[in-house]
Amino acid sequence: MKKHDVVFALCVIACFLPFFLSDALYEGYKDFNATHGMLMSFIKFAILSTLGEVIGLRISTGVYHRPGFGILPRAFVWGILGLGINLAFVVFSNGVPAFLSYMGGTNAPTLMKESLSLEKVGVAFAISVTMNTIFAPVFMTLHRVTDTHILETGGTLKGFFTPIPMARILQNINWKVQWGFVFKKTIPYFWFPAHTITFLLPGDARVLFAALLGVVLGIFLAIAARKPSIG
């Protein structure tokens, strides 16, 4: 571990440690989170998922920041994506149990309100699989588009708010990596089980846990960026 890794780790600890040491600060966070869920979703993803991308940059290039990387536009994009993720959590966590009930699993909605059981894990897994099959590929592709646009516009907020050349960026995506690694491997082998755990958590903890998973996503993106092609 190099000196800048130690400094980075200490800065991260200094930012989050007060919430563990101060009961008043933690209670204030919980109260604000309960009354302003969408705003807190924006903030959590803007901070934690951008942190994951910074760590991913360190893995892939050896540095935590470089000109053109665009920490501010990345944080803004993650905040917006966080709103979409929170929306997806609400839609799928309620919709999938309702659909299971419609298909004959009459106690599926009730199970998600009860204590941990094998049946509850099964419902949570169904929610995760449905959400990650329908929502995740679109989410991941949109993130790839915005990431490319940020890099092409020099990593500035002004540059980011120029029109995004969607067709060109979509055409130039390395679909072998996007399909062969991002979709085919990370979704079933990581996101299915990870979000099963997410949906077993209390509702007010799900978005925070998902934002923490953004750190893992940053590492995945760094790995994917280093893969020239995948069959």
The answer for 154, left when phi > 0, alpha when psi is -120 to 50, beta otherwise, is left
Q: What's residue 21's pLDDT?
A: 84
Q: What's residue 29's pLDDT?
A: 86
Q: What's residue 197's pLDDT?
A: 95
- Alpha-carbon span 86 to 111, nearest angstrom: 21
Helices 71-102, 203-225: crossing angle, 10 deg rounding: 120
- Alpha-carbon span 171 to 169, nearest angstrom: 5
pLDDT tens for 120-140 read 999 999 999 999 999 999 999
> Which regions in the chain score pLDDT beneath 50?
229-231
Q: What's residue 221's pLDDT?
A: 65
Using alpha carbons, list the distances in angstroms from residue 62 to 72, 151, 154: 20, 18, 20
Q: What's residue 15's pLDDT?
A: 85
Average pLDDT, the chain: 89
